[in-house]
Amino acid sequence: MAISKASNFTIIDRDISWLDFNYRVMQEAKDPNVPLLERLRFLAIYSSNLGEFFRIRVAHHRNIMLLGKKTKSVLDYNPAIFLKELYKKANEHLDEFNQIFYDEIIPGLASENIYLRSHRELTQPQEKFIENYFNENLLPFVQPVLLVKDKIKPFLNNSELYLAIILKSKEHHTEEEHYAIVKVPSDHLNRFVILPSEKGAHEITLLDEVVRFSLKWLFPGFDIIHSYSIKLTRDAELYIEDEYTGDLLEKIKKGLIKRNIGPASRLVYDDAMPKDMLHYFLSLLEIKKTDLTPEGRYHNNFDFFYFPHFGKYHLLNPVIKPLGYPIIDNAEEIFGALENKDHLLYFPYHDYEPVIRFFEDASQDPFVTHIRITQYRVDKNSRIMDALIYAAERGKSVFVFIEVKARFDEAANLVWGEKMEKAGIKVRYSFPGLKVHAKAGLITRRKDQETKHYAYMSTGNFHEGTARVYGDYGFFTTDSRLTSEIYRLFGFLENVKLPNSSFKHLLVGQFNLNDDLKSLILFEKSEALAGRKSEIILKMNNLQDTEIINLLYDAGKAGTKIKLIIRGICCLVPGKRGLSENISGISIIDRYLEHARVYYFYHGGEKKIYLSSADFMVRNLHFRIETAFPIYSETLKNEIIKVLQIQLTDNTKSRSLNFRKVNHYVQTIRSKRVRSQMSTYKFYKQLYQLQNTQENGK
């Protein structure tokens, strides 16, 4: 159900929970202990998240509402009422967003001699600078349009900035007002323009203000009365999730072309805009009042992520150098280093270089015959992808499964796919009706008449850029129990043939993932009913699948102690009397994005641990190829458990998911402050110091 109508609700709506998550992002912008420019960046991330939410989730509910009577018989909620609830909650958050920006961030910047100037605050030298900037840079890109009702209807590009202008004719000497529109070309020019300033000061203006100042040159026959920024958000859904026939690749390419001309789902506007002008644009753009989002003077605030720092590094997070992984770093030949035991890295605490080296060395190693990998999201300048191309050019057999349905990365994935195909790589694109979300690579090496497989699996993408900020596990293994099953998985991805035997060690979406997870939860329930110790710890991005949630409720009622670390959506209701007293939940938001998925089951003392690409969402458990891989090494198990314990004791960046205290900072009676991300880095640093000491002692 979309909105809980009774006090005995057992499921929190996913979209309401998502807005709560995004509010946690904004809480970081509120935190005075966060460096000032990092606070600004959290506002930028909040803004970007919200834009995507409107393009995807709000558009989804709008489209259901537009179907009208066709859906009433099958829906358990009223989409029109629910949309009002979403807008109300989002707009409340945006009011707080504006308060943080104008009352805290702007004065904070001023205290550092950084000043954000409007077009009305420019000095004469700055005005001359802007005039030159207009002629040399801006003029080719602005698109001024004088609006004539019922005759001129402009098309506003998705999520791009425009100024809506009120002006009067100089020639006709009349009080009649006219409206016009001008694009702010931030897709071509830097959003931030640094102004000439007095010594010691740093003055900056937004491109929006440069356009405002330039309006007198764009409309020479008019007096400019006022201008207000607007932005139109268009439906970004490609509607390909349930396509089972036809050429899927061509459908995606066509969908990408249509994406930016999709139906409007939201108009973001300056809340100072007069009502009659707002009504005019509602009619002009065919937007309903329910699709309005008032903001402040500026939109597209994700651009503030790139706000210049002027060398004031104290306004940024201190640089934390990723730790090396000595066993691999010091090895002359990586494959020899991987043969003796399993290896686990935790990014961004560890450097990502061993993963890159894994593929670069494979591309050059004369004994490597085959390289196989899944691609979901990769870096624009990916060394891993370059290594695959180099390997193919050297005659090695390379297979890449590219998931082109990776939202907002479809175009980039298609570009990489075409580039790799030209190099001779065998590329397969997507399955109709399914997404391949598994993160796996497999290298086959034949030496001295012996063939050996080397596998790498991860909770995150093969993306060098995000590995610097996403908290993800990366796992190397030559354990034949696992490599043989990864080999079978790639056989399925490459040839679309079912494996000859079932998966016994890996949990694989569409095969055994969902059923085996249920069995693991039911086992803990049975242990609790028998009076034995029973414990589950789940760390993931999102928990939404109702069937799994109900199993967790049942296990908790039986006595299983369940601890949740959920970054984003949590539809389960922790800590509710009669339902989930034995279930606690927290969310950690800090400088790194918590992205790892970890499943821990006490399992009669065996302590089964899986690392995975899958959240507990319907889409992951039912409509994707996912992998969850077991950790068999007791040393690595203890390492993962230690990190989980650190996160569960966080009393600095941890927020409660208890339904009565959602987003309240977790406070404990402990005198020692625990910030889990910093404590995790310290843990690994000390671990390697200890290992080095022991090694030198030998």
Active site residues: 437
Query: Which of 366, 150, 158 is closest to 260 using CA atoms?
Result: 158
184 by DSSP, 3-state: which? Answer: strand
Pairing of strands 597-601, 535-540: antiparallel
409: helix, coil or strand?
Answer: coil
DSSP characters over 188-219: TS-SEEEPP--TT-EEEEEHHHHHHHHHHHHS
Give the number of other CB atoms < 10 A from CB of residue 52: 16
Contacts of residue 338, defined as CB under 8 A and 6 or more positions apart, other chains included, come to 328, 454, 476, 477, 478
Q: Which token pair is 192?
A: 């931030």
Return d(Cα 84, Cα 580) in angstroms, integer: 30
Q: What sign has the CA pseudo-torsion 55, 61, 65, 66?
A: positive
Token digits for 503? 């998966």
Residue type (1 letter), 486: I
Residue environment code for 136-148, b if the CB has 16+ CB neighbours within 10 A, otherwise e: ebbeeebebbebe
CB 524 within 8 A of CB 517: no
Q: Is the dihedral of CA 281, 283, 286, 288 positive or negative?
A: positive
| 360/388 Cα distance (integer angstroms) | 8
**Taking a C-beta distance cutoff of 8 angstroms, is the pair 593, 583 a contact?**
no
Closest CA to 611 of 597, 621, 632: 597
